[in-house]
Chain A
Amino acid sequence: MGDITLGVLLPDLGTAMVETGIMVGTSLLLALVLGLPLGFLLFLTRQHMLLENRALNFIGGLLINFVRSLPFVILLILVIPLSMVVTGRSTGPIAATVPLAIASIAFYARLVETSLCEVNAGVIEASRALGASYWLIIKEVLFPESLAGLIRGFTMTAISLIGYSAMAGVVGGGGIGFLAINYGYYRYETGVMIITVILLILIVQSVQSLGDSVSNNVDRKKK
Chain B
Amino acid sequence: MLKLNDVSVTFKNHGQVVHAVKHVTLHVKRGEIYGIIGSSGAGKSTLIRTVNLLDRPESGQVVVRGTDISRLNGLQLRKARQKIGMIFQHFNLIESRTVHENIALPLRAANISEKEILERVPKLLSVVELTEKEFAYPGQLSGGQKQRVGIARALANSPDILLGDEPTSALDLDTTDSILKLLEGINKRLGVTILLITHEMQVVKKICHRVAVMQAGEIVEENEVYELFSNPQHILTKELVAKSLNLTLPQRVAETVQGDIVRLVFLGDNAERGILSDTQRAHQVQINILHGHIEYINDKPIGILIISLMGDRVQIKNATEHLRNQVAKLEVIRHG
Contacts and interface: CB of A to CB of B under 8 A. Distances in A.
A144 interface: yes
Contacts of B86: 126, 129-130
A104 B157 CA distance: 43
Interface string A146-177: 01100000000000000000000000000000
A128 B94 contact: no
A119 to B, nearest CB: 9
Nearest to B159: A130
Contacts of A221: 95-96, 139
Interface in B218-269: none
A140 B97 contact: yes
A129 B86 CA distance: 7
19 contacts: A122-B92, A125-B88, A125-B92, A126-B86, A127-B105, A128-B54, A129-B86, A130-B81, A130-B85, A131-B81, A131-B157, A132-B109, A136-B108, A140-B108, A144-B94, A148-B96, A219-B96, A220-B137, A221-B96
B79 interface: yes
B109 A131 contact: yes
A129 B81 contact: yes
A218 interface: yes
Contacts of A144: 94, 96-97
A116 to B, nearest CB: 13
A130 B94 contact: no
B139 A223 contact: yes
Contacts, number: 86
Contact of B92 (A123, A147, A220): A123
Given A132-B106, A132-B109, A126 B92 contact: yes
A131 B78 CA distance: 4
Nearest to A139: B108
Interface string B136-148: 0111100000000
Nearest to A221: B95
A140 B107 CA distance: 12
Contacts of B154: 130
A145 interface: yes
A200 interface: no
A223 to B, nearest CB: 6
A120 interface: yes
Interface of B: 52, 54, 77-82, 84-86, 88, 90, 92-97, 101, 105-106, 108-110, 137-140, 150, 153-154, 156-157, 163
A140 B94 contact: yes
Contacts of B78: 131-133
B82 A131 contact: yes
Given A129-B54, A130-B82, A140 B92 contact: no
Given A123-B92, A131-B77, A145-B94, 19 more contacts: A120-B92, A122-B88, A122-B90, A123-B94, A125-B88, A126-B92, A128-B54, A129-B84, A130-B82, A130-B153, A131-B81, A132-B78, A132-B105, A136-B108, A140-B97, A140-B108, A218-B96, A221-B96, A223-B137
Contacts of B95: 120, 123, 145, 220-221
Q: Which of B86, B90, B92, B150 has the most CB of A within 10 A?
A: B92
A82 B52 CA distance: 50
B105 A130 contact: yes
A123 B96 CA distance: 11
A128 B109 contact: no
Contacts of B163: 129
Contacts of B54: 125, 128-129
Nearest to B74: A133
A137 to B, nearest CB: 9
A144 B80 CA distance: 26
Contacts of A123: 92-95
A75 interface: no
A141 interface: yes
Contact of A131 (B96, B110, B139): B110
A146 B321 CA distance: 70
